[in-house]
A and B are shown apart, each in its own frame.
Chain A
Amino acid sequence: MGAQIVTITSGKGGVGKTTAVANLGIALAANGKKVVCVDGDIGLRNLDVVMGLENRIVYDIVDVIEGRCRLRQAMIRDRRLPGLFLIPAAQTRDKTAVSPSDMLRLGAELRSECDWILIDSPAGIERGFKNAITPADRVIVLTNPEVSAVRDADRVIGILEAEEKGSPSLIINRIDYDMVKNHDMLSAEDVLDLLAIDLIGIVPEDQTVLIAANRGTPIALDDKSRAGQAFRNIARRLTGEDVPFMDLDSQDGLWQRLSRLTGRK
């Protein structure tokens, strides 16, 4: 059957699904895998700009589904990594242009083309979300350590369980270690305790994510980025490797490390 299909979803918008898909795609492709990232957010296309491929779009997912092009014509090859492809969303259509059975057919056809298929789900729990999770072998729920994001993630997990998609894995994105230390942000342990599903990754808050998105060069390509490292670790866990979780403490700046050495808080 070939490739594994992984869908990334969150319920709430703006928590970092698109960033996660772009970076996981890059990290998997950097390890020599053939990866197709699919933008499932029809009408609100974004994965293309985050990946820096917006100028190369000719065909999109709706063109494939409606038979205006062949599958391979809609797969945009990333010039940085030979194994990385994007199937962009249609911008001038809405979610009703695609049905869950269309997505099943697309997924089945894509499986023979690559090793990994990553689907970027739209926010919400309606049609676009159903489309995105229907073909998935595995679902990752992404959340932020924030009350509204955690609550929405819990709703989505409940729906996934009811739809018998199996228990999803969790990525906690944008943990600000200083705020957690001051007890002003839910810690990863708090979020994990509330949602009670498998954890696959913790991504620290990192300004380089925005800078990279500005340039269209996702941070998983940047060796020095902490968030990039977190996404590379998640990609390795996806392939079954046992990678220890990052020690956020060691990611502090020089000053914090020095103050720890001298015993100051």
Chain B
Amino acid sequence: MSFFDRISGRKDKSAQNAKERLQLVLIHDRTDLTPAVLDALKDDLLDAISRHVEIDPASVRIDIARDGRSQRLVADIPLRSVSRRRTR
């Protein structure tokens, strides 16, 4: 919040609030993916990948990104480097 907003006592703008809430709701409406389904999917994905390469489950991010009227599943899965593994 900017200094001006603070002295004028302005709270978060409701239009921004509306937009952010709608972005989430529309993704769920369009894909029929609830946060619970997404979590289950994430667990399965991690299991499958861990069988082949070493990853840090805590650093994995799986989100749904909007692209016009279509949605895509975006997974960001950092791999542990081999050299770090050796030094341990």
Contact = CB atoms under 8 A, between A and B. Distances in A.
State whether these chains interact: yes
Interface string A147-190: 10011001101100100000000000000000010111111001
Interface of A: 146-147, 150-151, 154-155, 157-158, 161, 180, 182-187, 190, 193-197
B26 interface: yes
Given A147-B21, A157-B69, A161-B69, A194 B26 contact: yes
B15 A190 contact: yes
- Tell me if B's interface is mostly helix, strand, loop or mixed: helix
Residue among B22, B25, B30, B69 with most chain A CB within 10 A? B22
B18 interface: yes
B16 interface: yes
B5 to A, nearest CB: 11
A151 B28 CA distance: 11
B19 interface: yes
Interface residues of B, number: 16
Contact of A184 (B15, B25, B30): B15
Contact of B22 (A151, A158, A185): A151
Interface in B31-70: 66, 68-69
Contacts, number: 46
A154 B29 contact: yes
B39 to A, nearest CB: 24
A196 B13 CA distance: 23
Contacts of A195: 69
Given A157-B69, A196-B68, A151 B29 contact: yes
Interface of B: 13-16, 18-19, 21-23, 25-26, 29-30, 66, 68-69
Contacts of B68: 196
Nearest to B25: A151
Given A161-B69, A196-B68, A186 B30 contact: no
Contacts of B13: 182-184
20 contacts: A146-B18, A150-B22, A151-B22, A151-B25, A151-B29, A154-B26, A154-B30, A157-B69, A158-B29, A182-B13, A183-B13, A183-B14, A184-B13, A185-B15, A190-B19, A193-B19, A194-B19, A195-B69, A196-B69, A197-B69
A184 B13 CA distance: 6
Contacts of A182: 13
A155 to B, nearest CB: 6
Contacts of A154: 26, 29-30
